[in-house]
């Protein structure tokens, strides 16, 4: 049971292991993303000729709910996987604490905006 | 010895390819998602992306994704089996061969586009 009055108390008393959970998440989402993304690259980049990748082709493909779900799954999983991976790099290479705070804040904001934009785009058709 | 050997390069390349793929993903979501602003806006972005540095970049992004995917598998195998650690160097060379092959395959397949654009 956590009886904390300040953030530091809460941190000292918390037993959750967020880093372990992220470590597990990176392995599991990575395994899923291998199939999702290699399939996506093959189907939309290698198999299809570039002249076919028009505005109308994108709109008609995304009108199918199955592709909508497939693409949204890629969007959500790869943004979380990528954001956490970049967080590792930021924590390793941005050495001063104030710099790390604003770099992370800016970075998470960009990720959130892109996720919202992609989701709105996918489900607006 | 880890420093300067295959393990260090595998780690560095995994980070670099991951960051490169993430930046590509952010641009990709923006450019594909821009269809909600209409066809003219969408095509304006895609004509910019048809400049030759971006076309060559597509070959590298394919190779980068293949590297990151198979090196990720190598990491998972290393994490969960002892044999994976014993053979991590050999697996890394396998990953490099796969990445180079997929870059060559993408370049061969996309050759008309690399030369001529859309």
Work out the angle at residue A33's Cα, subtended by the Cα atoms of residues A102 and A30, and round it to the nearest 5 degrees.
65
Per-state percent for chain A, helix, strand, coil, to nearest 5: 80, 0, 20
Over the stretch A73-91, which tens digit does the pLDDT of each residue have?
A: 999 999 999 999 999 999 9
Q: Spell out the residues 6+ positions from residue B90 whose beta carbon is closer than 8 angstroms to its own.
A: none
Answer whether B110 sits within 8 Å of A50, measured CB to CB: yes
Question: What is the per-residue pLDDT for A20?
Answer: 87
Q: Spell out the residues 6+ positions from residue A100 whose beta carbon is closer than 8 angstroms to its own.
A: A90, A91, A94
B59 Cα to chain A: minimum distance (Å): 10
* Residue A2, domain member (yes or no): no
- Would you give per-residue pLDDT tens digits along chain B (118 residues)? 467 788 899 999 999 999 999 999 999 999 989 988 988 998 899 888 888 888 889 899 999 999 999 999 999 999 988 888 888 999 999 999 999 999 999 889 888 777 776 6
Nearest residue of chain A to residue B116 (CA atoms): A50
Give the CATH number for residue A78: 1.20.1300.10
Give the CATH number for residue B56: 1.20.1300
- Domain limits at A18? 7-123
First to last CA, chain B: 48
Interface test with A, best of B19, B39, B54, B72 (most A CBs within 10 A): B72
ipTM for the complex shown? 0.89
Answer whether A55 sits within 8 Å of B35, measured CB to CB: yes
Q: Which residues of B touch A58 (CB under 8 A)?
A: 32, 35, 42
Coil/strand/helix, residue B2? coil
* Residue A73, domain member (yes or no): yes
Q: In the structure, what pLDDT confidence band is assigned to residue A113 with cuts at 50, 70 and 90?
A: very high
- Cβ neighbours around B34 below 10 Å, total: 19
- Phi, psi (deg, nearest 5) at residue B38: 105, 165
pTM of the model: 0.88
For residue B115, give both structure tokens: 């030369």
């Amino acid at each position: 049971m956590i009886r904390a009055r300040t953030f530091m108390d809460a941190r000292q008393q918390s037993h959750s292991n967020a880093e372990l959970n992220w470590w597990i998440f990176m392995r599991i989402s990575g395994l899923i993303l291998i199939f999702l993304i290699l399939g996506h690259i093959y189907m939309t980049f290698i198999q299809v000729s570039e002249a076919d990748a028009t505005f109308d082709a994108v709109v008609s493909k995304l009108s199918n709910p199955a592709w909508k779900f497939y693409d949204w799954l890629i969007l959500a999983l790869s943004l979380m996987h990528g954001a956490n991976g970049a967080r590792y790099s930021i924590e390793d290479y941005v050495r001063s604490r104030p710099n790390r705070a604003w770099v992370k804040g800016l970075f998470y904001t960009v990720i959130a905006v892109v996720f919202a934009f992609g989701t709105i785009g996918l489900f607006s058709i | 010895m880890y420093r300067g050997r295959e393990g260090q390069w595998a780690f560095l390349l995994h980070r670099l390819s991951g960051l490169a793929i993430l930046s590509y993903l952010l641009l990709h979501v923006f450019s594909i998602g821009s269809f909600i602003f209409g066809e003219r806006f969408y095509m304006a972005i895609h004509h910019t992306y048809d400049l030759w540095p971006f076309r060559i970049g597509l070959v590298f992004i394919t190779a980068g994704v293949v590297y990151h995917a198979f090196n990720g598998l190598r990491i998972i195998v290393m994490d969960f089996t002892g044999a994976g650690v014993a053979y991590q160097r050999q697996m890394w060379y396998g990953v490099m061969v796969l990445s180079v092959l997929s870059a060559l395959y993408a370049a061969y397949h996309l050759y008309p586009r690399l030369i001529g654009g859309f």
